[in-house]
Amino acid sequence: MDKEIFLRTIFVDKLRNVDPNSLGLWGKMNVHQMAEHMVLAFKTANGKIKVEEIITPPEKIQRSQEFILSDIPFKENTKNVLLPAEPFPIRNANYQEVLDKLEAEIAEMFRVYDEKPDLKLRNPIFGDLDRNLQIHLLHKHATHHLKQFGLL
């Protein structure tokens, strides 16, 4: 399946009829917290969250970007060193509004790259990413979380 179509149309759809309090097969976030987490991921990918520092050593960036392009999934319980041990508390109590915001941030990412096809935006772990790398990373990230909640 086309990864762009998946991100634009399928990802959020799969979250629409899920109990937001559902817990995953692994990890500590519930579905609602994961949706808010993904809003932040897309805000990073569309430039609304500005990233200055790349925490991955420069000599490992190429390998990490090769991982993004591979079919190797994120492992269960993959730890993001930028996140606290406990999930962030829910910021918006209305789950459907969070999903609407997620859809908007996804659309914004594509709009930004449509306007500036040569743009690269910084990811704190994977480095400077162009449109293709962003799509691959976010598809990998989204499918990881859908699997976490038994939605894929």
End-to-end CA distance of the chain: 13
**44-78 pLDDT tens trace:** 999 999 999 999 999 999 999 999 999 999 999 88
Q: pLDDT-based confidence at 7, cuts 50/70/90?
A: very high
For residue 76, which of 138, 122, 145 has the smallest C-alpha distance?
145
User: CA–CA separation, 34 vs 145, rounded Å?
Assistant: 7
State the pLDDT at residue 82.
80
Name residue 59's amino acid. Answer: E
Which residues have CB under 8 Å from 120's CB, separation 6+? 128, 129, 130
**16-52 pLDDT tens trace:** 999 999 999 999 999 999 999 999 999 999 999 999 9
State the pLDDT at residue 79.
81
C-beta separation of 147 from 10 below 8 A: no
Q: Which domains does the chain have, with CATH numbers?
A: 3-148 (1.20.120)
Model pTM? 0.94
Check residue 7 and report its DSSP letter.
Answer: I
Res. 135: pLDDT tops 70: yes
Q: Is 38 exposed, middle or buried (0-12, 13-18, 19+ CB in 10 A)?
A: buried
Packed helices 95-115 and 31-45: angle between N→C axes, nearest 10 degrees: 20
Res. 1: pLDDT tops 70: no
Longest dimension (CA), the chain: 43
User: CA–CA separation, 129 vs 46, rounded Å?
Assistant: 11
Name residue, tokens 């400077």. 128
For residue 145, which of 7, 3, 38 has the smallest C-alpha distance?
38
**86-125 pLDDT tens trace:** 888 999 999 999 999 999 999 999 999 999 999 999 999 9
State the pLDDT at residue 65.
98
Q: What average pLDDT does the structure give for the chain?
A: 95
